[in-house]
Amino acid sequence: MSDQGPAGADVLSMLEGQTMSSYDNNTGSNSAINNNNNNGQTSESIFKTSSHPVALFFHLFFRTAAIVVYIVPFVHKNNYVISFVVITMLLAFDFWTVKNISGRLLVGLRWWNEINEDGTNSWLFESKENRVINKTDSRIFWGALYIAPVVWLVFALLSLLSFSFKWLLVDVVALSFNIANLIGYYKCEKDAKQKLGGFLNNKNGLLQNMIGNVITNKVGSVFGSH
């Protein structure tokens, strides 16, 4: 799961340009369209309130499709090998999409790791400066990121209890993909907050020094005039 640097730059640029232009052109109309339910309350689709609806869709699609293929009996009842391949491919698509595209567009974060010459791994984190995050995008992104590993962990426990070791293998593969992204983005978010905290501390320190210098100069000029 190592990565030598940023991946999917062309796909990201194309997707970001399309989704942002679509969002900009329809901001006024989307904000004016509401669906009233039976209780008279107003509800909106998450894709209408999202800043990047295409990225949000694929953030949910691949991981949901993998779970559906896993739990629908007639899909894998007599065809374990095909189901294993399909689920693994969906999980791989999901891992790549979340790691390189949806994380960067939805929450302004991206992570990867590099293998050093001595064989050790180095975690690298990237965050957009002055991040302005859409609440819907952030909520769905982190929710899906945390929920998916829990679902696969439940599947793994059920497979273990039923001694279905071939499906336990699928569960382990799914957990590996999902937990890798979860840990990566957790560390990336933590790193971004630390950088922001350090920036604010430095800014406050500079401001305090500036105020202190002004006060010192004023006091010095007052006593110097006598």
46-90, pLDDT tens digit by residue? 989 999 999 999 999 999 999 999 988 655 667 888 889 999 999
Give the integer Cα–Cα distance in Å for 150 and 202: 39
82 falls within a domain: yes
Judge contact between 49 and 133, C-beta under 8 A: no
Q: pTM of the prediction?
A: 0.67
Q: Which residues form the domain of 119? A: 9-24+47-215
Q: Find where tokens 């189901």 sit.
A: 83
- Report pLDDT for 124: 83
In a domain, 139, yes or no: yes
Amino acid at 122: S
How far apart CA 77 and CA 70 sit, in angstroms, is: 10
Whole-number CA gyration radius for the chain: 24
d(CA 109, CA 183) in angstroms, rounded, equals 13
140 domain residue, yes or no: yes
Q: By percentage, how much of the chain surpasses pLDDT 90? A: 43
Specify the pLDDT at position 13.
54
The three-state secondary structure class of 205 is helix
User: Which residues of the chain register pLDDT less than 50?
Assistant: 2, 4-7, 18-42, 199-201, 203-205, 207, 212, 216, 218-220, 223, 225-226
Local structure of residue 78 (DSSP, 8 states): S
Which stretches within 98-164 are classed as H helix? 103-107, 135-161
Mean of per-residue pLDDT scores for the chain: 76
Does 38 map to a domain? no
When divided into structural domains, the chain yields a total of 1
State both tokens at 111: 């992570």
pLDDT at site 77: 65
- Tell me how far apart the alpha carbons of residues 12 and 19 are, in angstroms, rounded to a whole number: 10
Query: Are 52 and 23 in contact, with CB atoms under 8 Å apart?
Result: yes
Are the C-beta atoms of 16 and 52 separated by less than 8 Å? yes
CB of 171 closer than 8 Å to CB of 156: yes
- Residue 12: predicted pLDDT: 53
Tell me if 202 is assigned to some domain: yes
Whether residue 117 lies inside any domain: the answer is yes
Predicted confidence at residue 38, as pLDDT, reads 46
Of 182, 181, 158, 184, the closest CA to residue 170 belongs to 158
Q: Is residue 165 part of a domain?
A: yes
Return the H-helix or E-strand segment holding 112.
Answer: strand 109-115
96, burial (CB in 10 Å: exposed 0-12, middle 13-18, buried 19+):
middle
Is residue 152 in some structural domain? yes
